[in-house]
Amino acid sequence: MMHPGRRRPTSDREVRAMSIGADDGRGGAGVVDTRRGAFFALQSVPVGSVALWDGFWGPRLKTNVEASIPALLAEIEEHGGVDNFRRLTGSKQCERRGPLYTDSDLYKWIEAVGIAMQSAPLPEMKQALADVTGEIAAAQGEDGYLSTYYVEDRADLRFTQLEHSHEMYCAGHLMQAAVAIHRATGAKELLNVARGFADYLDEVFGPGKNETTDGHPEIELALIELYRATGKKQYLALAGFFLSRPQSLGNLPPIAHRPELIGHCVRSGYICAAGADYYAETGDDGMLSNLSLLWDDLVNRKMYITGGVGAHHLGEEFGEAYELPASRAYAETCAQIAHAMWAWRMLLISGDAKFGDVLERILYNGFLSGVSLEGTEYFYSNPLAANPGGATHRSSQGKWLRQSWWSTTCCPPNVQRTLASIPGMIMTTSPEGIQIHIYDACWARMALQDGTAVDVRVETRYPWDGEITITLEPERESEFALMMRIPAWAKGATAEINGEPEQQEIEPGSYLYLDRVWREGDTVKLHLPMAVRFTRPHPYVADGRGCVAIERGPIVYCIESTDNISAPIADLHIPAEKLTPDAWVVEHRPELLGGVCVVRGPALKPVPSFAGFRLYEDVTDSEFEKWTETEITAIPYYAWANRGEGQMRVWIPVTEC
């Protein structure tokens, strides 16, 4: 990561240090290592090859490294996450603490560090990382098995309770952590631990052996990435075996035959992402065909406008089609991350902009709401309405405030590894050229198919402004295509090349394809219109019926009581005749919530307040619904609840007056 304010690298030595890996084959791998997969349409680039500046994501990555990652290690230490390994190695005498799956939280933290180290060396974390990985390696059994829970008096229960034991789930996060550290540093200690565990699993599981799957998918993703890192085909084969089996928890059909998205949302997202990975390596058309059907179910029937996923607190599950309650939304932060992982892989194997659009929706909204602006507190659930002290549902934790630690703390390290990965999702390459998927102020070095290096500089205030300037600096004149994602909402987008208007029609929901000979200093200016939009849900979405959400660019907005003191949030309505962009004002407030654009516009409130109404009213009552004019101020949804507890809603009723 290029920290905000850091200069652009100038020397060839600096550039090579950022974008070229070691000679052992680990260099060049992106968030997903696409180098082996014959069925990837796009090639991911190393996380360290894209340096973020003072844009939207750069400061957040800086916070992730400087505040989030160190604070979470302190929390893990305080709650026994490292001591659980120390007690097995004999370096500390203590009782095991935490739920049976708590090993995975430490592994995800290590993965976050490993991915972050692919952008910057983080010398301040090296000793802590070495201490932790040393304890993990020392705790591994001679046969390769590793768990701090299924040992000692529970050793006989190994692999006997896979519906709920999370043994292979934890193993998967160990493997992903090991791959991330190896890519960052070349260190093999943890990679050898991961390989030992994977080899043991390959001995125990498979056709004619133990044919049970883990109740929480994750091992499938990890085995495929471990195969990519090591070249050991048995890991890919074992992942394929697990994918071919029914899911043990709930006896759900294999993902290639599942008729709809059902069950636990995080587990579903992980298994779908693994299915996409498996297709990329094998070309299993049946897998891809069913993933496409499941994707349609997700985006057309089961995803919140924020990119959130999960209607039910009980079971952390999907609801039925269009069952998307606002105040009772579960929308677990990890579920958003899992489906972003799926979206990214679908984008890589297809090159279709629709997957980039969903990835963007998740990242800027339902994912980012999961972490505080300070980077040290987290939401587990992300509702679309909150009314503390009122009649609507409160969080299962009792209040809508982010917390630094949860008894199940899967979300914090998941947020951290995802934030660290974002530089690797900005751009990709292909035989045709370079694709830009996420717009942020950055500098990158890309390599064309023939090996030509191309420096790419992006200057923008996106998502607050739709003006994007891209400067290309190929090391020599080169013909290739520059492909820029045009979001589906960007109707009327325009572009200029070296000051000359681009004549081709620019279609929203696609890539602007510019194929030409590029020379050093060539500039593309892209303009994405940023008008205020009013979005209504499908009529079957009960909590959104008769309502609209305010959107601008990729940002979903909400109204929060802190900014709207004229009436309770539940009383505020938008007059139907004011659902036009020119009736609303956009203001950039650099001092507010880390710097945001707010949207202000006309509203109505009832006189008297609805709070004084009887439970049921006769519609002929002359006092029913008298309105007076007021104004509302909307803030980005991701920033709500950063100023204390208060009322909030995304879906705002519309009233005809």
Residues with catalytic roles: 316, 410
DSSP lists the bridge partners of residue 312 as 317
Q: Would you say 554 and 596 are in contact if contact means Cβ atoms under 8 Å apart?
A: no
At position 620, the amino acid (one-letter code) is: T
* Helix/strand/coil percentages in the chain, nearest 5: 40, 20, 40
Comparing C-alpha atoms, which of 502, 498, 433, 453 is closest to residue 471? 498
Q: How far apart are CA 317 and CA 305, in angstroms?
A: 17
Q: How far apart are CA 418 and CA 378, in angstroms?
A: 14
Q: Would you say 647 and 387 are in contact if contact means Cβ atoms under 8 Å apart?
A: yes
Q: Would you say 552 and 532 are in contact if contact means Cβ atoms under 8 Å apart?
A: yes
Chain centroid to CA 96? 31
Give the CA diameter of the chain: 80
Tokens of residue 345, six digits: 């892989």
Q: Would you say 272 and 238 are in contact if contact means Cβ atoms under 8 Å apart?
A: no
The residues, any chain, with a CB within 8 Å of residue 320's CB and separated by 6 or more, are: none
Q: How far apart are CA 510 and CA 495, in angstroms?
A: 14
Q: How far apart are CA 147 and CA 88, in angstroms?
A: 10
Tokens of residue 356, six digits: 């980039």
Q: How far apart are CA 218 and CA 294, in angstroms?
A: 18
Q: Would you say 458 and 440 are in contact if contact means Cβ atoms under 8 Å apart?
A: yes
Secondary structure of residue 57 in the 3-state scheme: helix
CA atoms 629, 634, 637, 640: torsion sign: negative
Unique residue bearing structure tokens 């004149």: 477
Q: Kindly report whether the peptide bond that precedes residue 606 is cis, defined as omega within 30 degrees of 0.
A: no
Alpha-carbon dihedral 613, 614, 620, 621, rounded to 10 degrees: -60
Q: How far apart are CA 452 and CA 473, in angstroms?
A: 11
What is the bridge-based pairing of β-strands 652-655 and 574-575?
parallel
Q: How far apart are CA 32 and CA 228, in angstroms?
A: 9
